[in-house]
Amino acid sequence: MELAALHLQLAPLLPAIGGTVGGALLLYLLATTLTACSIPGMIIPMSLTGGLLLGPWLAVLTVATGAMTGSLFLFALTRRFGAERLRRRFGSRLEPFEERLTRLGPYAVAALRVAGAPGPLITAGAALTSMKRTPFALATLIGLLPSVVLAAASPGLILG
């Protein structure tokens, strides 16, 4: 389906969900929920759809902060309930990864996110280290921004 045709089909739905504010809130909640539930590959499609319906800047704001919030939730859950289970299951195989992530900290999180590594693995790995929540959140946001910005801006570049 062409992007212009998709826009024509989706644009009339925006008033039904509360206009731009409702659309942004829905996009934020979806990004948060899908990220927290470890649903892979959702950032680019949500950024594209958000850019198409809300414009690039609002789409970047809602998708990036939603994905960061979802990652923080998953980080906290993994640290609280899953860290020991992961250590028991994978044992010494986790040590090199954990050591590197501890040494490089937020730089590793940002670089891995830019490189497109699976988000749930990055989040779980960071939760196993002593990394604090704020540096993790900032590194996540920085690492997600390039792909979110490009995807959210592309509908405007294509449609003119």
Q: What is the pLDDT of residue 14?
A: 67
Helix, strand, or coil (residue 129): coil
| Mean of the per-residue pLDDT values of the chain | 88
Kindly report, residue by residue over 5-47, the tens digit of the pLDDT: 665 676 676 676 777 888 899 899 999 999 999 998 899 999 9
pTM of the predicted model, to two decimals? 0.85
Query: b or e along 85-118 (b: 16 or more beta carbons within 10 Å of the residue's beta carbon)?
Result: ebeeeeeeebeeebeebeeebbebbbebbeeeee
